[in-house]
Structure 1
Amino acid sequence: MARTFEDARAWASAGTGLMLKAAEADDTGFAAPSALPGWSRAHVAAHVAANAEALCNLVHWAATGERTPMYASPEERAAGIERGRKLPAAELTAWLRASAERLDAGMAALTDGQWQREVVTAQGRTVPATELPWMRSREVCVHAVDLATGVTFADLPAGFLAALCDDVVAKRAAAPGPAVHLTASDTGAGWELPGEGEPTRVTGELHRITAYLTGRDTDLRTAGGAPAPELGPWL
């Protein structure tokens, strides 16, 4: 089933709650490693806070028609994360919450017509503003897991997991990689990653399939017990 605008708004709200809960429970441990190589938990929290502010720029674009890019440049984006990750824990947590609240308020104020305005993502894609809740749901849900404070993909809504699999497979299909046939054992849903040769068949619970596709689970195995094929970067 295709995701809807209402689905994405609900997932963004649920993911924000998970992210804030995970961060606030860990406000004395931001220096600890996250699940992302080379990043501390502070890096992840700062990235998510900065993402909310960047999406606020797109909300402004949709509300006013004034072109307002997410980031002035890749360097400005990286510098914002670096500044944020050095904040004291209480200040970083406060920024994470305040930026999320500002984004939520901005999206709530958009009219039906404003939601249809086109904006441009940081990757250069032109999309209607209705894509913003989906963009935010991916950030907060996946990075709530990346904080490595106890949230797992199994804690995320099943509908979100299936939609994320669709999204990631569509992106991976455009890049070289191994041929893999994936089946979610608990829902029966399936996905095909095109590639050379006979597809490797991999079966697992939906949350493990999603973790594998996003590069977060390297322990998934085939029916024969071999490791699932290694995938390249998702983004």
Structure 2
Amino acid sequence: MTSPSPAGLLAGLHKAATALTAAMDRIPDGGERAPSALPGWSRGHLLAHITGICNALARQVEYGRRGETVELYDGGVDGRNRAIDLAAGHSLQQHRDDVDEAMQRALTAFDALDGEEWQTHIAFRDGVIFDAGLALWRELVIHTSDLDTGAGPETWSREFCSNLFDFLAARIPADKRLVLQPMALPPLALGAGGSTVVVSGMVTDIAAWLAGRTPSLDSLRATAAGDGTDLPGLLPWPSAIPDPK
């Protein structure tokens, strides 16, 4: 698995932003109150979250370029959740305006980077700005599908799925070893446990399942020792917000 170049990542971010804007444009009047694909969240909750994460990752870049670090969200998890709950009831047009402003802030921040600045240390995951760019890519692409306006995981690119496999390897339980067999692509092993499960299907379906989303092409099949079996349980999505000590 390889990460995109900074130029490739920027192209992916702009493409993802365009797709998200198109998905928002497909939401009918009042549709912001309808459920999203995320349990317990309306589209309004999801749009409020997208606004928040775009602004949060933008400021990681802005502070990082000044040689400063700042936590991802003011107030940590509680601050994030309060902001989502407060904004969830906004009108559809307000959500569109907020998301567009936050996305443009983030894209502007990443577009301004020179080659070396991508490796600037930031507080987010105790990583570098490039990590924040990959995170924004994941957030925009996956949450576009979560809006449930017709663009599901089947639209995810092969490159995006490959990087998602890399990031979500942390979800594999310690006792498991998954051999992913995406159709027409080389197999890939994740995890180092003693119990091996082979998961085959379209690459987007495998990526969607690893991301905790519903595969849209109904192609997944799991086997163990040659026999059909259930898909294994996965660990929680890796959190970007440290637990309070």
Matched, 1:186 2:184: yes
Which residue pairs with 1:134 in the alignment?
A: 134
1:106-121 equivalence runs, <5 A:
106-121=109-124
Q: Which whole-Å CA distance do the structure 2 matches of 1:33 and 1:178 have between them?
A: 34
Kept in 2: contact 1:57–1:69 (CA 8 A): no
Q: Which whole-Å CA distance do the structure 2 matches of 1:68 and 1:226 have between them?
A: 45
Matched, 1:85 2:83: no
Q: Which whole-Å CA distance do the structure 1 matches of 2:104 and 2:62 have between them?
A: 15
**If the length of structure 2 is used for normalisation, what is the TM-score?**
0.85
Provide, for residues 155-200 of structure 1, a one-character-per-residue CA deviation record: whole Å limited to 9, x for no partner: 122111111112111x124x44644322111322323334343x12
Kept in 1: contact 2:179–2:187 (CA 8 A): no
Which residue identity lines up with residue 214 of structure 2 in the other structure? D
Find the residue that maps to 2:3 and give its secondary structure: coil
The farther-off stretch of 52-61 and 2-11 is 2-11
Matched, 1:172 2:171: yes
Which residue pairs with 2:11 in the alignment?
A: 10
Q: Which whole-Å CA distance do the structure 1 matches of 2:150 and 2:192 have between them?
A: 33
Kept in 2: contact 1:11–1:157 (CA 8 A): no
Root mean square deviation, CA, Å: 2.0
**If the length of structure 1 is used for normalisation, what is the TM-score?**
0.88
Structure 2 spans left out of the alignment, 5+ residues: 239-245
Provide, for residues 118-148 of structure 1, a one-character-per-residue CA deviation record: whole Å limited to 9, x for no partner: 0011xxx211212222110000011111111
Which residue identity lines up with residue 8 of structure 2 in the other structure? D
Question: Does the C-alpha gap of structure 1 residues 192 and 22 become closer, same or farther in structure 2, counting only changes over 3 Å?
Answer: same
Kept in 2: contact 1:9–1:134 (CA 8 A): no
Where do 4+ consecutive residues of structure 1 move more than 6 Å?
none
Provide, for residues 31-62 of structure 1, a one-character-per-residue CA deviation record: whole Å limited to 9, x for no partner: 11111111111111111111011012111112
Which residue pairs with 1:34 in the alignment?
A: 36
Which residue pairs with 2:214 in the alignment?
A: 217
Which residue identity lines up with residue 80 of structure 1 in the other structure? A
Which residue identity lines up with residue 97 of structure 2 in the other structure? A
Q: Which whole-Å CA distance do the structure 2 matches of 1:204 and 1:70 have between them?
A: 36
Question: Does the C-alpha gap of structure 1 residues 222 and 130 become closer, same or farther in structure 2, counting only changes over 3 Å?
Answer: closer
Find the residue that maps to 1:181 and give its secondary structure: strand
Q: Which whole-Å CA distance do the structure 1 matches of 2:199 and 2:128 have between them?
A: 35
1:43-82 equivalence runs, <5 A:
43-72=45-74, 73-82=76-85
Q: Deviation at 1:10?
A: 1.9
Question: Does the C-alpha gap of structure 1 residues 117 and 192 become closer, same or farther in structure 2, counting only changes over 3 Å?
Answer: closer
Q: Deviation at 1:205?
A: 0.7
Matched residues, percent identical?
26
Q: Which whole-Å CA distance do the structure 1 matches of 2:188 and 2:22 have between them?
A: 32
Matched, 1:231 2:239: no
Give aligned pairs, total. 229
Question: Does the C-alpha gap of structure 1 residues 177 and 23 become closer, same or farther in structure 2, counting only changes over 3 Å?
Answer: farther
Which residue pairs with 1:153 in the alignment?
A: 153
